[in-house]
Amino acid sequence: MRSGSPGEWLWGPEAMRWRRVFSGRADQVRSARDFATLLFSGTGREDDVATVVAELAANAVRHSRSGLQHGWFGLEITLARVAYIAVTDQGGGSVPLVRTECAADELAESGRGLLMVSQLALATGIHGSPRMGFTVWADMDLRCTDRQVSLAS
């Protein structure tokens, strides 16, 4: 048994990892968001993580085969000083694209979600294919808890 503070145990040298599969339904986007928010409780980035997970999961359900009957999406989280959040879909549809601020139409009802994710994250990325599925990921810096980006509309 290790001695020391709970914080020393919690923030030990090993990163904590979770993987969870959700049905490809809109109501499961909220479940994924709530799950991630619980995991990040106390980090000061709970709201940002909730936004990132909700956007990535909603995109998986809306824009891939994950949203079809019997579809699913996966959520992977690594909790460390720089946390990794990824959503894997079942492919199909189009290739996820992070638009630049200049290319994002301010009047459009969609198309700015991954831009918002990229503004909240330290880094973002996409890998995969339409046939095999895509994983869209974001690294979240837990070392600073100040909101670095204003999301004013």
31-87 per-position pLDDT tens digit: 999 999 999 998 899 999 999 999 999 999 999 999 999 999 999 999 988 999 999
Domain boundaries, the chain: 23-141
With tokens 């049905």, the residue in question is 23
What pLDDT score was predicted for residue 152?
36
Query: How far is residue 72's CA from residue 90's CA, in Å, rounded to a whole number?
Result: 7
Distance CA 134, CA 147 (A): 28
User: What is the reported pLDDT for 153?
Assistant: 35
Whose tokens are 């630049």? That residue is 100
* Contact by Cβ (8 Å): 46, 105: no
Verdict on whether the full-model pTM lies above 0.85: no
The structural architecture, per CATH, of the domain 23-141 is 2-Layer Sandwich (3.30)
Residue 67 has what DSSP assignment?
G
